[in-house]
Chains A and B, each alone.
Chain A
Amino acid sequence: MTTLAGYLLLSAMLFAVGLAGALTRRNAVLILIGIELMLNAANLNFIAFWRFSEHPEALTGIMFVIFSIGVAAAEAAVGLALIIAIYRHYKTTNVDEMNSLKG
């Protein structure tokens, strides 16, 4: 059976990949995807800790992930709407060129 460390290391790796993407990519949509990956890595941690906990019947990990998925869905919807609004204004999704708040 896989130990807790396997899941935690996988989750840390996913988080690092998402962070690298969010920090290095130019396109705003890809930055949002990187943030989604980081959120998912945290969800995997919650589920792994729930599965390996002493009292899994309390369902805390499961509940946290269900609510986290809901918040992430809301975040994705608003984030992509913002990117579309910015694209309409600047005609670009390159974050290096979005350098002023007041267009």
Chain B
Amino acid sequence: MTLPFVIIAVLTIVAAVAAMSLRNLVHCALAVVVALAGLAMLYLQLNAQFVGFAQILVYVGAVAILVVFAILLTRGGEAPEKSVFSASWLTGLAVAVAVFGVLAWTIVKSAASQREPTQEAGATVKQIGDALMTRFVLPLEVIGLLLTAALIGAVIIAMKEEKK
């Protein structure tokens, strides 16, 4: 464990927990931005620069703004007077803790988890561009179609219904 990893990991986890437990929804949205930025830092630390900057562009830039818009449009800005957790929160928490327990147990038991990183593993933008235009060109086209469909679908769903 290196010190930068520990700092980023603690920051990410604390921000994620804050995002899931704060009362005010706008504070939750800001906390989730910190968690996503922490993940982007981890990607940079793992030599995946392109993914790190894509993460900042898409999540910190676009998704966070969308979330804040949705919170404000649904008047979630003011803190609720009732409990923010659902009636069955204890079951949900137990399920989450059980899932983490199983995952952590598997990771600790696994032989592959003690691996050291491969030397000089890195991906330049040129390599990624080459791969996207040759081997992964079909998935690229499909994702383009999906994003167009999602854009149109989101507008149609959120559009005001016409009065008949």
Contacts and interface: CB of A to CB of B under 8 A. Distances in A.
Interface residues on B, range: 35 or more
A33 B51 contact: no
B146 A70 contact: yes
Contacts of A43: 39, 51, 55
Interface residues of A, number: 73
Contacts of A84: 70, 73-74, 157-158
Interface string A17-47: 1111111111101101110110010011001
Interface of B: 1-2, 5, 9, 12-13, 16-17, 19-21, 25, 28-29, 32, 35-36, 39, 42-43, 46-48, 50-51, 54-55, 58-59, 62-63, 66-67, 69-71, 73-74, 76, 80, 83-89, 91-93, 95-97, 99-100, 103-104, 107-108, 110, 112-118, 121-123, 127-128, 131-132, 136, 139, 143, 146-147, 149-151, 153-155, 157-158, 160
Interface of A: 1-10, 12-27, 29-30, 32-34, 36-37, 40, 43-44, 47-48, 50-54, 56-57, 59, 61-63, 65-67, 69-78, 80-85, 87-88, 93, 95-96
